[in-house]
Amino acid sequence: MSFLSSIFPSSSGTPVNAGNTGIPPATPLAGQQAPAPAPAAPTIPTPPAAPASPLDQYAALWQSATNADGKPIAPSADPLGQPIFNFDPTKITESASRMDFTTGIPAETIQKALGGDAAAFAEALNLGIRQAVVGMTMSNGQLINQAVVANNQRVTSSLPTHIKSVQLQDQEDLNPVFAHPAAQPLVASLKKMAMAKDPTASAADINKQIAGFLTGFSQAVVENLPENRQQQAAVKAGETDWSTWA
């Protein structure tokens, strides 16, 4: 065994200081620079949110009402504006075809009339016409009664809507401008449209909704005037808004 082999034994074949030796990693000496960290991924700036419009909350105000399947609901016609009597000629003809106006004429009178007896013929004719008048009067009376009862039901079912319409038009507007003669037709029309879309809404809720819509609409119009948009752009750019100085 040589001197060097006694210091560096090679029997195991394991490198010196292999594995965990408890020696901390070497720190960079003075004057040496530590390795630079990996560059971070670039961050994409989030675009600024679009400015909210006062009309955003009313975007669905005039959209057609839909049912559970998403299909548009056709506006219902005013029951009080429909005719009371709807006589179907086909049904009347069918009903008349089942009537026999000769049942009240005595058989002997018919025999005499067929034998050439003029008086018997006149009597049979009169009896037949009388039976027809009575039968048509009774039939028409039944049709009229049915129509009146159906119309009474229509009136009863439509009364809440008409009462709400009157309350809506008579209710005091939340903004005095809405009561101006120049604005009143527009306000009344908007209230009517809102009630037709949501018949279950109360008159107070509809009045409040239309007031908010008109207020937001006027605010959006003023904010988007060319001079106001230029002023807002100048303020965002950091320029002094001299219009606010007295």
pLDDT in tens, 64-81: 767 778 777 776 667 777
| Statement to judge: residues 180 and 220 lie in one domain | yes
Q: Domain check: are 182 and 128 in the same one?
A: no
User: What integer pLDDT is reported at residue 243 of this predicted model?
Assistant: 59
Measured distance CA(72)–CA(66) in Å, rounded: 4
Q: Which of 130, 158, 186 corresponds to the end of one domain?
A: 158
For residue 48, is it within any domain?
A: no
Helices and strands, counts by H and E, the chain: 7, 0
Looking at the fold, whether 181 and 153 belong to one and the same domain comes out as no
Confidence of residue 222 (pLDDT cuts 50, 70, 90): confident
78: Cα separation from own chain's centroid: 19
Q: Which two tokens stand for residue 24?
A: 């901390």
User: Is 110 among the domain residues?
Assistant: yes
Place of tokens 């129509």: 147
Same domain, 145 and 180: no
- Domain contains 199: yes
pLDDT tens per residue across span 168-203: 877 788 888 888 888 888 888 888 888 888 878 888
CB atoms within 10 A of CB 172: 8
If one counts the domains in the chain, the total is 2
Residue 153 domain flag: yes
Shared-domain flag, residues 175 and 153? no
Question: Do the beta carbons of residue 211 and residue 177 sit within 8 Å?
Answer: no
Condensed to tens digits (0 to 9), the pLDDT of residues 13-43 reads: 555 454 555 555 555 555 556 566 666 666 6
Closest Cα to residue 99, out of 73, 138, 46?
138
Mark whether 153 and 176 lie in a shared domain. Answer: no
pLDDT the model gives residue 163:
84
Residue 208 CA to residue 191 CA, distance in Å, equals: 10
pLDDT tens readout for residues 95-135: 778 878 788 888 888 888 888 888 988 988 888 888 888 88
Say yes or no: 178 and 140 in one domain: no
4, pLDDT greater than 50:
no
Residue 212 lies in a domain: yes
**Cα(111)–Cα(124) distance, integer angstroms:** 10
Q: Which domain holds residue 199?
A: 171-238
DSSP code, position 9? -
Q: Clarify whether residues 192 and 148 are in a common domain.
A: no
State whether 154 and 176 are in the same domain: no
User: CA-CA distance, 67 to 124, in Å (whole number)?
Assistant: 62
What's 72's DSSP letter? B
Mean pLDDT value across the chain = 76
For the chain, what is the largest distance between any 2 Cα atoms, rounded to a whole number of angstroms? 168
Q: How far apart are CA 139 and CA 96, in angstroms?
A: 9
Residue 52 inside a domain? The answer is no
- Asked whether residue 122 is assigned to any structural domain, the reply reads yes
